[in-house]
Every structure is written in C-alpha cells, then in structure tokens.
Chains A and B, each alone.
Chain A
Amino acid sequence: MPIEYYIFLCLMLFSIGVIGVLTRRNAIIVFMCIELMLNAVNLLLVAFSKMNYGAAKLISATTTAGIDAQIFVFFIMVVAAAEVSIGLAIIVMMYRNTHSIDINFLNRLKN
C-alpha cells in the first residue's frame, strides 16, 4: 500500500475537519471537527509507523522501529480526552451564562 494513499486519506479527513471548523457555528460541532482532525493525524502517524517498520524489517527481523509513532498516537488520545473534558466544561459554562452556544456570540472579544 503506497504511503501516498494514506497521506491523501488523512489529508481529506483533516481538511474536512478544517472546513467544519470554519463553517459551523455551533460550538459543539466545531469541537467535534477538531476531534476529527486529531483522528486524521493519528491515522497518519500509525501509517508512517508501519512504513518505517516495513522498511526496517527487511534489514533485521526483530526491530521495533516505528513503535514511537504508535506511542505518540496513544498520548495524543490521552491529551484529546483531557482537552475534551475541559472544553465541554467551558461550553457548559458559556451556555449557562449566555444561553446560547453560538460561537458568534463570543464577540465579547470585540470590546
């Protein structure tokens, strides 16, 4: 499986996430698109790890090349989880204050 296929797939997913962030106004949906982006990156990292492993395996049969990427993906998931909890807490608080989750409402930054 040439690596470009994976790269293109992840790029598609990532840019769909970007479009989602730019297009939607609901804060929660925006958040979800961010998660989508993170996942696309995760997939790409895993693909790269297998690519390196495949190349290293031809040299010596018992390598652990490319395992770093998978560990990294693991940690990305960890961070994503933490971030989601905090983010949702913020959104809840925002809703409580303004009774709306429209991100345009956040134009408090204007003044």
Chain B
Amino acid sequence: MKILVAFIILWPLAGFLFNGLGRNYWSKKLIAYKATGYIVASFIASIFAFLYVQDNGAVTVHYFDFIHTDSIKIPFDFKVDALSSLFLLVITGVGSLIHLYSTAYMQEESAPHYARYFAYLNLFIFSMLLLVLGDNYIIMFMGWEGVGLCSYLLIGYWFSNGNYNYAAKKAFIMNRIGDLGFLLAIFWLIAKLGTVSYSEVLTAETVAKLSSADITGITLLLFVGAMGKSAQIPLFTWLPDAMAGPTPVSALIHAATMVTAGIYMITRSNILFTHSEITQNIVAIIGISTALLAATIAIKQNDIKKVLAYSTVSQLGYMFLGLGVGAYSGAVFHVITHAFFKALLFLGAGSVIHAMHHEQDIRKMGGLKSKLPITHITFLIGCIAISGVPPFSGFFSKDEILAAAFEKNKIYWVLGLVGAAMTAFYMFRLYATTFLGKFRGSNEQEAHLHESPLAMTLPLIVLAILSALGGAIGIPHIMGGHHWLTGQLSTIVSTPQVAHLAVSTEWILMGLSVAIAAIALLIALSRYSKQTDEEPSSAIGKFFYHKWYIDELYQKAIIEPLNKFALFLKEFIEKKVIDGAVNGSGKLVQFSARKVRLIQNGQAGYYILFMVVGIIILFLIWFNDITILRFIHTLTQK
C-alpha cells in the first residue's frame, strides 16, 4: 500500500521533472504521451487505492519524519481514506482527461513551450495530490502552496503578454493572502495542541481541550485560507482574470481541482467547524453572497470564459453554503459533480475557441450547432447539468445543499433558489448565444469552423456521460437510492447533516427548484436564440457588467495606497535612511580616517606622547588590581 500510494504521487512528479528538464530534446508527441501517460497511471493506481479503502478502511502511510524536534513532531504521512481516495479519483481522472485534451489544444506551441506546459500541469497534479493525501496540515499546506504556484505559472503561461502576467500575479497574491490565514491557523494549532496531524487534532477529545474562542479563531483563519484559494468574497477577483491562461488550465485548475481545495480542507476539519457556530454562519453567509454576486455578474458578461469563471465562483459559493449549514457530504457531492460539468463546459468552450480561431466574444458567435456537433451536444448536457435539471448530476448535488439550507435557515434556501435561477439563466444565455441562431462572426472565421480533433472531443464525451450520470452516487433516500456518498463520508464527517425533512417537504423543495430553473432556462432560450445583448443601458445593468466595480474598488482602496507606501519606502527610507546609513558609515569612516591621519603628522613629539599614553594604559590594564582612586585616597589620608 505504501508503494502504491507513493506511485500515485510520484508519477506526476516524474512527469514534471522529465518534461521540464527535457523540454528542449523531445518531440511534442513524446511529451504528450509521457505526460498524459503518467497521469493515467496515477489514475489507475488511484482506483486501486480506492478499492483498497473500500475493503479495508482508512490507511495511514508513514514515510519518514519530516520535522522531528523535542517540541513538535511532524511526520511525512499520507492518509488514504474515503474522502481523500474520492478526491484522488476525481483529480487524476479529470486530470488525465484534460491532459488528453491539451495534447490537441496546445498543438500550436513549439516543442519547448509545449513541454513546459505539460511540466507545469504535471507539477500541478502532484501538488494537488500532495494536498489531499497529506495526513497533517503541514503537508496539506505544502500542496496548497504548490497549487498556488502552479496556478501562477500556468495563468502566466503566455508570458510575453503583460496583462497575462498581471493576472497571474493577482491570482498568486490573493492566494497568498489566504495562505496567511491558513498559516496562522496552523500556528495556533501548534501553539495550543503541539501537533497538526489529523489523527490527533480532529478527534473529539482534542476538540474538547480547546476553548471555544480557540476553535472559532482557528476555523475562521482556516476559512480565510479557503477564501483565497476557492475564490470567495472578498478574495475572488483573481478567478475571472485567471482566464488569461489556456482553457484546459482553466478547466483543470479553476474549475475542477484547485478551487476545491478549500472545500476539501474544511471538510477534513469538519469536526472543528461543527463546534463553532459563528464560523459556520460566516461561511454560509459568505458562500451565498458570493454565489449571488457572481451570478449577477455572469448574466452580463460577453466573454465565454468569463461567464464560466463567474459561474465557477458562484458554484463555489454554493459549496461553501453547503459547508456552512453542515451539509458536508452535500458540498463534497457538489464538488464532484461540479468537477464533471464545469470541466466539460470549459473544455467545450475551449473547443469553440479553437474553432473560432481564438475568438472569445460570444457576440461574434452563433449558429455553431451545425458546425460543431459534438461540442454542441456535450455543451448542452453540461448546461443542463449545471442548471439543476434532473436526472443530471447537478440536480442531485445542488438539491442536497438547498435542502440542508432550508432546514437551517429559510432565507438561505430562498437566496439559493434565486441563485439557481440565475445560474440556469446565464448558462442558457451563453448556450443560446453561442450555438443557436445565425453566425455573427466574420467570413473568414466562418470558413475556419470545424469540429475539434478526437483528442479534444473524447474527453468532452466522457465528461458529458459523467455529468449526466454522476448523480448516481448521491441519490437521496426519498427517491429510492441509498446515498452512497454520505455513507462513504460518514467516517470523516462527525455529524453528517443529512436533512431531516419530511418527505413531502423534500419533494416540494425539489419540485420548486426544478420549476424555477426550467422557467429561467426557457426565458433565456427564447430571448437569446435570436439576438444578443446590447451594451447594458440601465444602471443596474452597467453595475453588473462592470463586475460591481469591485476590481476598481480594490485598486483604489488597496493597491494604490500600497503602491504609494512602497514608493514612500523607496524614496524616503531606502534612499535617505538606509542608503544614508550605509553611505554615512562609509563617510564616517572616511572622516575619522582623515582626522586620525592627522595624528601621523610626522611630529616626533606627538609620537612620544602617544607612547607615554600607551604605556600608562598598558600599566593600568596590566596591574589591574590597583585603583588610582585608592592611591589618591591614601594620599589624602596621609
């Protein structure tokens, strides 16, 4: 088992090293095969690990002692249990599909850059696996940082464009702000408990040891980390800008895996969260606010990837809402289904972009359904799934969260419903504008339109199937299923919150959500299949279109003062104070040297004087038990 788990994580690392170091030597085909092959191998190993855990329960694999001092011991352990093996499957499975897709999508790049892309992608998978496999918060943090780094590297993949670099920086810095919260939480844990291993921290006895202030503080700080990584308010503005990276990157990192790291972390630490009412409320409120905010912005966007990005932020908000109301398995379910359909949607968008020769504005698209049939069908399936229409997977996961929200607080449910309606609306707006109606682009673009190669369509098909049928793992009791997922996670989640509603209430809730989603969907279809949006004219329209002016707010409130502060530091402190001190000490030495040199004035009399003074001092030091004062004292006494 030890070796198996090691293989899971080492193959992507090997892929990173080989592709990275050998990028100047190998052909594109070879690199593609190797990179994808490694991840597929990891996927197969993950299946074995999953089956093993199914049979034998959770396993902790110990490799070596990472930090080993008197006060703290942090071993390098991997924990393979239901939660992490599920995530393993998702990460390596979706990851290998996206690798396959990328082999065709990135064909235009030259071989060294091609290899660089795959090296970064493999490194990302490695870091993500490290994150979910770690048995303590430190290893999770290592993976956490790693995925942040890879996100930066991949967003700024086309580094010659300054805007892309800026977006990459923005992503990394916002991530970092969250990381600070995470780090503080770890420090707090170490200070209070002296350990960060899951097996020691996440038990009922340990939690009883901590005061409620401790738990609230730690969980809040953990949530800050999750905010940064999973793009919640206020640290979400990096995600839309991260669309500057290649589309498969957006699919993998910003839809399926990295952004779900926050949810993984909170699910793992659920015992701490259930003990802190305040944090749970905060998580839920921020989650639903993010969901609504992002949905409003998505309604007005015109770039295909930006719509999907805001949709991701919105869905993440739903997941956090689920976490906040205690529906941990619901949130994990939504993570899995979201990975399927969001990756599908992004890859489909990539296929469209590829066909439109890198055009991303949906106002210039339209009528693509005849030209790109496979993309069209799969994209449609993805849209239906995300809108929460049964029997596709999104319905089940979203509904579970909404039911738990209803039980906790009706307002959450109402807002969640509004958000679901908006989700359906903007997704079908996107679908209709892109695929229905007449083609609105230029003639040469029209001539270029073709379906994507097999390497790109095959993942689309697989993901479409998964999005359609993936709901099977979480069919609720009232429909006759036995909710396999909740059973899986019962070992992890201390108090699984399956909504205990009356059966009739649940049916009503489900019916309402489906109905509202269907209405929104049809409105969008009818409106947008023939025409596109003009420039928003109303004030609210403008407000949504300009992303609630949050970026500008950040610019004015945070970035500019920071820049001014940095400028101040440079001008005043760096130049005057520090340089002054350094130069000044040089000047001081020069000055004193000049003065001291005057002693060497060639006048022998001075030399003798100093000789005498030197002898006096020598005697004073030598016979150091005499004191002149004592002598003078005896003199005066006589």
Contacts and interface: CB of A to CB of B under 8 A. Distances in A.
A22 B614 CA distance: 14
Interface string B279-300: 0000000000000000000000
A107 B601 contact: yes
A111 B597 CA distance: 12
A108 B602 CA distance: 6
A110 B609 contact: no
B600 A104 contact: no
Nearest to A110: B602
A106 B612 contact: no
Contacts of B609: 22
Given A18-B612, A22-B609, A110 B604 contact: no
A102 B384 CA distance: 110
User: How big is the B interface, by class?
Assistant: under 10
Contacts of B600: 109-110
A103 interface: yes
A106 B604 CA distance: 7
Interface in A54-80: none
Interface string A74-111: 00000000000000000000000000000110111111
Interface in A7-60: 18, 21-22, 25
Contacts of B601: 107, 110
Contacts of B603: 103-104, 106-107, 109
A103 B600 CA distance: 14
A106 B609 CA distance: 16
Nearest to A111: B602
Contacts of A18: 612
Main secondary structure of the interface of A (DSSP, over half): helix
A108 B600 CA distance: 11
A106 B608 contact: no
Nearest to A109: B602
Nearest to B615: A18
Interface in B604-618: 604-605, 608-609, 612
A25 B601 CA distance: 15
B612 A103 contact: no
Contacts of B612: 18, 22
Interface in B559-601: 600-601
A108 B603 CA distance: 8
Contacts of A106: 602-604
A25 B605 contact: yes
Nearest to A18: B612
Contacts of A104: 603, 605
A106 B600 CA distance: 12
Contacts of B608: 21-22
Contacts of B602: 106-111
B80 to A, nearest CB: 83
Contacts of A110: 600-602
Contacts of B604: 103, 106, 109
Contacts of A21: 605, 608
Contacts of A111: 602
B562 to A, nearest CB: 57
B606 to A, nearest CB: 9
A18 B610 CA distance: 12
A27 B332 CA distance: 101
Nearest to A15: B612
Nearest to A24: B605
A109 B612 CA distance: 20
B461 to A, nearest CB: 94
B610 to A, nearest CB: 10
A96 to B, nearest CB: 19
Contacts of A107: 601-603
Contacts of A25: 605
A104 B603 CA distance: 5
A109 B605 CA distance: 12
A104 B601 CA distance: 9
A104 B608 CA distance: 12
B631 to A, nearest CB: 13
B632 to A, nearest CB: 16
B245 to A, nearest CB: 71
Nearest to B597: A110
A106 B601 CA distance: 9
Contacts of A103: 603-605
Given A22-B609, A104-B603, 6 more contacts: A103-B603, A106-B603, A107-B601, A107-B602, A109-B603, A110-B601
Interface of A: 18, 21-22, 25, 103-104, 106-111
12 contacts: A18-B612, A21-B605, A21-B608, A22-B605, A22-B612, A25-B605, A106-B603, A106-B604, A107-B602, A109-B600, A109-B604, A110-B601
